[in-house]
Amino acid sequence: MPYYPDHLKYTKDHEWVERTGDKRVRVGVTDFAQKQLGDIVFVDVPTVGRDVEAGEPFGTLESVKSVSELYAPVSGRVAAVNPDLEGDPEYINSDAYGDGWIIEVEITGTGALDGLLDAAQYAKHIAEEAE
């Protein structure tokens, strides 16, 4: 059974967002997404300090099946990149909501998380995609 933690927000592009501070969020891909991709073998992410724009690509995930773009769920500046993914990208497969986080973003503007889905909305979105 898929697992979508209630404390996270989600995008229709299968990224999750966790608020880690007043203006800071952690971003990763959902368990659903990593299962669809298969074994992750490489992660390409922006450098710290680069600006990202909500809805725009910010990096890629390469799996044994394909290469998929990552889309920024919020606008802001990259504040941190998960250093563990460089040597161990499979953390995304083994712990998508924990050690498999990808970047942290200092968000700009107010209401940055307002348009994102809650866990129930994301689960419904997945169910509708499967139809």
> What is the tens place of the pLDDT at every residue in 76-125?
999 999 999 999 999 999 999 999 999 999 998 777 888 999 999 999 99
How far is Cα 21 from Cα 115, in angstroms, rounded to an integer? 19
Per-residue pLDDT, 3 = 79
Confidence class for position 131, pLDDT limits 50, 70, 90: confident
Residue corresponding to tokens 């986080």: 101
Q: Sheet containing 67-71: which strands, arranged edge to edge?
A: 40-44, 57-63, 67-71
Percent of the chain residues topping a pLDDT of 90: 86
Find out if CATH 3.40.1350.10 is the number for domain 9-130.
no
Q: Is pLDDT at 1 greater than 70 in this prediction?
A: no
Return the residue matching tokens 């990202």.
52
Residues in the chain: 131
8-61, pLDDT tens digit by residue? 999 999 999 999 998 999 999 999 999 999 999 999 999 999 999 999 999 999
User: Which residue is it, tokens 């959902």?
Assistant: 30
User: What band does 130 get if pLDDT is binned at 50, 70 and 90?
Assistant: confident
Instruction: Determine the residue type at 88.
Output: D
Q: Which residues pair with 16 in a beta bridge?
A: 10, 28
